[in-house]
């Protein structure tokens, strides 16, 4: 497999509904779409970096810089026997996992398309449908939150996650439990608390939550281990797990009982599979996280979710919750039983509407062997 050319586009897509986490509210999704070309075919990777360095230290601008200046020269024109060789070829570049992942995942899509097989099969997955959950942002009022939960349950989703932060936590959970009973419910704090909040977080134990996601700092393991010993609710780590090694450390320390896998956070599919396998070996269930991806990144998430240890519903939901229209047609749909069918065509197996991509494009650039030679 050889990539002859990489095209980058910075896109802006309006969100159907604003999304608010403990670090703020967004109304539009800005992201980089990577297209790799080779052997007459193309593969796509959606970069999950955001506009601001709040979820992660990466942003669209850092990812654009790292991909064009450092990733592309290590990938363009290089013969790879398999896309699992791409991540090791980027070893000299420290961090910047989201930038690396966007290119690596595009290479997997290209490879699967060239093989004429669905990406799920290339990744080693076997499920035909995946269980879908939703992530509900912080709302303007608890009444609005309850209305949203009601709508998502009616749509069939298999688990509800709500975003929490100090001042929007125990009361929100209490309202949902009072109204909807023992639904599969979890919370995600996006690192909004410290160990000093342990007595407050302990109040959540009364609500039989599936888990509390990333309560403490984005790069912390040690404090999560202390907190997990005080809570009966399982801790799930998201932000803290940037590498397979950090996952090993977190599991050994007892810092979490569940791990959220986002390929962008760990550098792509190869590292996601290694993380998935590590967790399986330790009896740690995983689920697939989401980053408000368009249908292109969403399809990638669906394919990875077909691996066996993705045993909990993920944050991989229907297109219509995020974008109308999505960049793909037909969009991703959730069935009444809360599952999503895995695309069966080659590669990502979704139809990208070029005109919609074009309309959403703020900036584009192409990198090939000639442009690399010109700057090196
Ligand atoms: O922490 O899981 C998170 C969105 C952006 C950044 C971080 C997170 C999220 C979500 C949304 O929770 C998940 C989704 O529906 O895509
Ligand atoms: Mg999270």
Q: Which position has the token pair 């045993």?
A: 311
Task: Identify the residue whose tokens are 């942002």.
Answer: 137
Per annotation, catalytic residue among 29, 100, 163, 242:
163
0.85 cut: is pTM over it? yes
| pLDDT at position 38 | 97
Most informative mutation of 289, 322, 326 for ligand 1 (most atoms within 8 A of CB): 289
Measure 212 CA to ligand 1 centroid, in angstroms. Answer: 14
* Residue 78, both tokens: 């290089």
Closest CA to 145 of 125, 113, 171: 171
pLDDT at 162: 98
pLDDT of residue 326: 98
In the prediction, which pLDDT does 237 show? Answer: 99
Supply the pLDDT for residue 157. Answer: 98
Distance 291 CA to ligand 1 centre (A): 4
Structure confidence at residue 375 (pLDDT): 75
Q: What integer is the mean pLDDT of 318-330?
A: 97
Residue 40 pLDDT level (bands cut at 50, 70, 90): very high
> How far apart are the C-alpha atoms of 260 and 314, rounded to whole Å?
8
Atom of ligand 1 nearest to the CA of 290: 16
Mean pLDDT of 240-251: 98
Give percent above pLDDT 90 in the chain: 98
Active site residue 2: no
**Ion ligand 2: protein residues whose beta carbon lies under 5 Å:** 188, 213, 238
Per-residue model confidence as pLDDT tens digits over 142-173: 999 999 999 999 999 999 999 999 999 999 99
- pLDDT band for position 374 (50/70/90)? confident
Q: Report residue 301's pLDDT band, with 50, 70 and 90 as the boundaries.
A: very high
pLDDT recorded at residue 23:
87
Distance 124 CA to ligand 2 centre (A): 25
Q: What is the mean pLDDT of residues 168-179?
A: 98
> How far apart are the C-alpha atoms of 160 and 168, rounded to whole Å?
16
Q: What percent of the chain has pLDDT over 70?
A: 100
pLDDT of residue 318: 98
Q: Quick one: pLDDT at residue 243? A: 98
SS (H, E, C) the chain: CEECEEEEEEEEEEEEEEEEECCEEEEEEEEEEEEEEECCEEEEEECCCECCCCCCCCEHHHHHHHHHHHHHHHHECCECCCHHHHHHHCCCCCCCHHHHHHHHHHHHHHHHHHHCCEHHHHHCCCCCEEEECEEECCCCCHHHHHHHHHHHHHCCCCCEEEECECCECHHHHHHHHHHHCCCCEEEECCCCCCHHHHHHHHHHHHHCCCCEECCCCCCCCHHHHHHHHHCCCCEEECCCCCCHHHHHHHHHHCCCCEEEECHHHHCCHHHHHHHHHHHHHCCCCEEECCCCCCHHHHHHHHHHCCCCCECCCECCCCHHHCCCCCCECCCCCCCCCCEEECCCCCECCCCECHHHHHHHEEEEEEEEHHHHHHHC
Residues flanking ligand 1, CB < 6 Å: 55, 135, 188, 190, 238, 289-292, 315, 317
Whether 217 has a pLDDT exceeding 90, the answer reads yes
**Is the pLDDT confidence value at 373 over 90?**
no
Q: Is the pLDDT of residue 376 over 80?
A: no
């Amino acid at each position: 497999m050889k990539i002859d050319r990489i095209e980058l586009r910075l896109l802006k897509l309006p969100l159907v509904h604003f999304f608010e986490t403990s670090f703020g509210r967004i109304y539009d999704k800005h992201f980089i779409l990577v297209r790799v070309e080779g052997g007459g075919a193309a593969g796509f990777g959606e970069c999950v970096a955001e506009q601001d360095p709040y979820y992660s230290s990466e942003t669209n601008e850092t990812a654009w810089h790292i991909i064009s200046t450092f990733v592309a020269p290590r990938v363009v024109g290089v013969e790879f026997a398999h896309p699992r060789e791409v991540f090791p070829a980027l070893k000299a570049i420290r961090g910047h996992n989201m930038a690396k992942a966007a290119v690596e995942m595009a290479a997997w899509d290209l490879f699967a398309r060239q093989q004429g097989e669905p990406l799920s099969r290339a990744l080693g997955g076997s499920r035909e449908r995946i269980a879908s959950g939703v992530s509900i942002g912080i709302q303007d009022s608890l009444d609005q939150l309850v209305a949203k939960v009601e709508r998502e349950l009616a749509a069939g989703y298999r688990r509800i996650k709500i975003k929490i932060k100090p001042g929007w936590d125990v009361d929100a959970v209490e309202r949902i439990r009072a109204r909807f009973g023992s639904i599969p419910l979890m919370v995600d704090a996006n690192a909004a608390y410290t160990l000093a909040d342990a007595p407050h977080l302990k109040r959540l134990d009364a609500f039989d939550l599936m888990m509390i996601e990333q309560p403490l700092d984005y790069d912390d393991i040690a404090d999560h281990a202390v907190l997990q010993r005080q809570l009966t609710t399982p801790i799930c780590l998201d932000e803290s797990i940037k590498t397979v090694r950090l996952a090993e450390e977190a599991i050994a320390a007892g810092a979490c009982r569940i791990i959220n896998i986002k390929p962008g956070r760990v550098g792509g599919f190869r590292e996601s599979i290694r993380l998935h396998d590590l967790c399986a070996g330790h009896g740690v269930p995983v689920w697939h996280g989401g980053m408000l991806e368009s249908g292109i990144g969403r399809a990638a998430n669906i394919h990875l979710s077909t691996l066996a240890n993705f045993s909990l519903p993920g944050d991989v939901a229907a297109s219509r919750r995020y974008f109308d229209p999505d960049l793909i047609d037909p969009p991703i749909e959730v069935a009444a039983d809360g599952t999503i069918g895995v695309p069966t065509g080659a590669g990502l197996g979704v139809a990208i509407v070029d005109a919609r991509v074009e309309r959403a494009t703020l900036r584009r650039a192409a990198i090939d062997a000639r442009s690399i030679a010109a700057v090196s």
